[in-house]
Amino acid sequence: MVNPNKVTERLFQSPSKYIQGPYAIHNAAKYLGKLGKTPLLICDEIVWRIAGEELVGALEKSDFKIHRIVFGGEASREEVDRIAQIGRDKSSDFVIALGGGKTIDTAKTVADGLALQVAILPTTASTDAPCSALSVLYRPSGEFHCYTFFDKNPSVVLVDTTVVSKAPARFLAAGMGDAIATNVEARRCKNSTNFGGGLQTEVSSAICEKCEEILFKYGKQAYEANKAHAVTPALEAVVEANTLLSGLGFESGGLAAAHAIHNGMTAIEELHGLLHGEKVAFGTICQLVLDGVPTSELDRYIEFMLSVDLPVTFELLGIPHVKDEELRRVAELSCAESETIWNLDLVINVDFVFGAIKAADAAGRDYIRRTGWKKN
């Protein structure tokens, strides 16, 4: 239900400090020193080899004493509890997340439970999780579990674009899939409360619009630069859009159907191998269908998504033979009582969402047929 408590205050929230640039990890001590000297570092083994050793080397030169925890792979309550106990045992004075979205969401939840500050160092630009005061938790099986909300945003978000440029371009594209939903959702949430419990400010609306503008202007160029592992102005712009603008935009603007449908899609086991933003991209098409946008506008979004290899049909999602009963289950979960789909000022029910999901696939197939698009 849209704004059931009749809130009238506007609210905007953000991390205390955001830093982005090539080789930013080398200056990590400069930005993290005020948080403490004995951090709990959470990262997986792959990220450790990519950036962890470099980060620890930079921090140890400034007399940090780091305790590293190997992230288990799923942002679940069980993983949070395991890591939090180690943090207590080691008397850590702040938490560092080094990695992707699930590492970040886990670290934020751990830090909140320990009443510590958290520094977020993303190694990909694959989600808008780094800047927000919330985490998405999943069940160990990979299904969506819940949103977890915190009293404050991360103290520091530090993005090394040299590290980001070395990641597979699929991660940047997934970040664009997450970020392209930001304005689509927020512009339909103006009368709903955001994640801070207030209404949108003018600056949050402007941020959402700027995020979308950057993606359409530089998205394809940045994607190709990432494939070449090149840090360019286009890549810098898209990393900022994916990470900062989308993060500020969704949290202070609001989420709606695109993310609710993503959450429902996690019930399909065959989709567990997809990245968050790849599913959100398809959810965005579903929301555009629910919004009743003209075909020309729908085409514009589909064209953009295909240009960076985001899925716009069931086949491209990897579920060409998905059954109606599976899609209805997605629609049911999307319409759960606590879901963000209810931020939409529309008549919503399971049948409408089920129809939108099928119509989104049909729209994607129709665009591909009309344009002759073929995957490179």
Q: What is residue 5's predicted lDDT score, i.e. its pLDDT? A: 82
Rounded CA-CA distance 114/81 in Å is 10
Is 26 an annotated catalytic residue? no
Residue at 70: amino acid letter: V
pTM: 0.94
Say if residue 246's pLDDT is above 70: yes
Residues 6+ apart with CB under 8 A from 330: 261, 264, 265, 267, 268, 354, 357
> What burial letters (b/e) apply to 283-321, b meaning 16+ CB within 10 Å?
bbbbbbbbbeeeeeebbebbebbbbbbbbbbbebbebee
- How many C-beta neighbours within 10 Å does residue 364 have? 24
Q: pLDDT tens for residues 32-83?
A: 999 999 999 999 999 999 999 999 999 999 999 999 999 999 999 999 999 9
Residues 178 and 161 in one domain: no
Residues 181 and 61 in one domain: no
Q: pLDDT tens for residues 140-181?
A: 988 889 989 999 999 999 999 999 999 999 999 999 999 999
The verdict on residue 322 lying in a domain is yes
Confidence of residue 315 (pLDDT cuts 50, 70, 90): very high
Q: What is residue 266's predicted lDDT score, i.e. its pLDDT? A: 92
The verdict on residue 140 lying in a domain is yes
Q: What is the CATH number of the domain that holds 72?
A: 3.40.50.1970
Residue that finishes a domain, picked among 115, 141, 166: 166
Say if residue 376's pLDDT is above 90: no
Active-site option among 262, 291, 345, 361: 262
β partners of residue 68: 41
Active-site option among 105, 112, 259, 361: 259
Helix 324-334 vs helix 350-371: angle between axes, to the nearest 10 degrees?
Answer: 120
Comparing CA positions, the residue from 174, 127, 135 lying closest to residue 153 is: 135
Confidence of residue 1 (pLDDT cuts 50, 70, 90): low
Residues 37 and 117 in one domain: yes
The verdict on residue 11 lying in a domain is no
Span 83-101, average pLDDT: 95
Confidence of residue 331 (pLDDT cuts 50, 70, 90): very high
Is 178 an annotated catalytic residue? yes
Q: Which two tokens stand for residue 197?
A: 């419990």
Could you please report the per-residue DSSP string of 300-337?
HHHHHHHHTT---SHHHHT-TT--HHHHHHHHHHHT-T
Q: Which residue has the higher pLDDT, 127 or 16?
A: 16
Q: What is the CATH number of the domain that holds 271?
A: 1.20.1090.10
Active-site option among 44, 128, 160, 178: 178
Residues 162 and 266 in one domain: no
The verdict on residue 298 lying in a domain is yes
Active-site option among 276, 299, 361, 366: 276
The verdict on residue 7 lying in a domain is no
The sheet carrying 67-70 orders its strands as 17-21, 156-160, 117-122, 94-99, 39-43, 67-70
Residues 151 and 231 in one domain: no
Alpha helix stretches (DSSP H) within the chain: 28-32, 45-47, 53-60, 77-90, 101-114, 161-166, 169-186, 202-227, 233-240, 246-253, 257-265, 276-291, 295-307, 314-317, 324-334, 350-371
Is 67 an annotated catalytic residue? no
Confidence of residue 275 (pLDDT cuts 50, 70, 90): very high
Is 262 an annotated catalytic residue? yes
The tally of domains found in the chain comes to: 2
Span 301-319, average pLDDT: 98
Which residue range is the domain that position 37 belongs to? Answer: 17-166
